[in-house]
Structure 1
Amino acid sequence: MEKELVSYIPALQKFGRRFHTSAGDVDDLVQETIVKALANLDKYEPGTRLKSWLFTIMRNTFCTKFGLSKREHVGFGDDCAILPSVQPTQEWTVRGHELEAAIEKLPVHYREAIDIVFLQGVSYEAAAENFKCPIGTVKSRVNRAREILIRQLS
């Protein structure tokens, strides 16, 4: 029986090419089919075609693996590239302290304009009302403050 089973290996390889294009995958499928057939020889019914029984085992093995492979996500579980990363904050912390120090060095009217427009998010119109001056003056103060900050920080 085992000799007859081994004689069907070329036919199993040919049949396996229907399922896989890779020779390695075909060989793996044939090997798994042979192992399952040998493990279940007691279930083989004498008088039936051994070749058909082997082909059925191969087809069922492929279908089972195909169904499992659709549910598996190979490589996603341990892939560290998918994990979210957090950039180091040290550089931005230092830059933030430098910006705070540079803002503190500004003349009062420039510092107040930057504070109210950029840090507090108040509109130019509301800032002009707050300072009791024209909108153009607020825009000018903000622009000059930005230029001073750029020179100090670069």
Structure 2
Amino acid sequence: MPDGEHRTLVSDQVVTFIPALRAYGRSLARNPDDADDLVQETLTKAIARAELFHAGTNLRAWLFTIMRNTHYSNWAKRARETTGAQDCVSGEVISQPTQEWTVRGTELMAAVNRLPEHYRETLVLVVMLGLSYEESSEICHCAIGTVKSRVARARSMVVDDLEGNA
């Protein structure tokens, strides 16, 4: 298959994974704007390097790996830079949610966001995005047992946090 046709085929398939990429991006970035930028950067890299994707392999895992590597590269760059975003009040919420389920959902996500990164990442991949332990282990570059252990510990840590035992 010529490169142009392969690139078009991969580009068409990539679109179906945008919602999952947005969810995973939010778990990594913790900020909706940064997550959207991460998704856009991931899509740009994936489409530009579509010829590196091997047909018949897991496109979702390939995209998640690109996103994870991009996130860590960006994080390393940001660690060396100083910005004024912490002082900006424009990102603060003006009114608090009134619905009980919204409050509980916010508490749950806050507990997930307080997890150490390796626990949070595996919890999001397996529990929230529904990836198998095997797919998650490929994305995280660790053993399946490690993923299972991290997910179990992350669940326990979230429960303890929500119950006030953390």
For the aligned pair, the TM-score class normalised by the smaller chain equals 0.3 to 0.5
- Higher radius of gyration, 1 or 2: 1
TM-score (norm 2): 0.43
TM-score (norm 1): 0.46
